[in-house]
Amino acid sequence: MNDWRRKQIPVVSTALVIINAAVYVICLFTGNTLYRAGALGAYEVLVDGEYGRIIWSMFLHSGTNHILNNMLILFFLGAMIEKETGHILYALLYFLSGIGGNILSLYIKAINGDMSISVGASGAVFGLDGVLLAMVLLSDKRLENVTPVRVIMMVVLSLYNGFTAYNIDNAAHVGGLITGFLAGGLVCIIQRRSRGGGGRNSFA
């Protein structure tokens, strides 16, 4: 298999979905054990210094609908972005977005004295929305059937659904979206400058 064909296979997106699904199945059989060890909480992270929760919480989900929604978006949107960015850069953008979302979530929890915990890959998934938005706004490469208006509408609808639903960590969503957009935009700018500002730009 040549390099081009290997790049078209969304190995990172697939692996992330499999890992998240496996962790969820484990949680079904072990109760709250993994949630107690990995859920994101301001006290646990900022007071107890359990910083690993910023990452571990990205692999935990609160229910079947929660994980299904996140994994469907992760696989289909992630696969499209991964083909454009390449595997390593895609993984970096995904985890940066998730970390950025969880850091904003922690900040909001801390200033509000909120001792609740949160779980999910939503921050990272929203980060993919941000990356896609950066791609359509700042990259010269055109993605088939993807326009700035469609992406913006998708982002607005996703945010609206979050803010109108119950028990949602919207700070993680917003933080992930902003982080993904900034990171994706930075990649576009760096690559454009590396090409001298000419020609068609892409993440590849």
Residues involved in catalysis: 122, 173
Per DSSP, the three-state class of 35 is: helix
Biggest alpha carbon distance in the chain?
55
Q: Name the strand (E) or helix (H) holding 117.
A: strand 117-118
CB 90 within 8 A of CB 40: no
Render 140-201 in DSSP notation, one character per residue. Answer: SSPPTT--HHHHHHHHHHHHHHHHHSSS--HHHHHHHHHHHHHHHHHHHHHHHHHTTT-S--
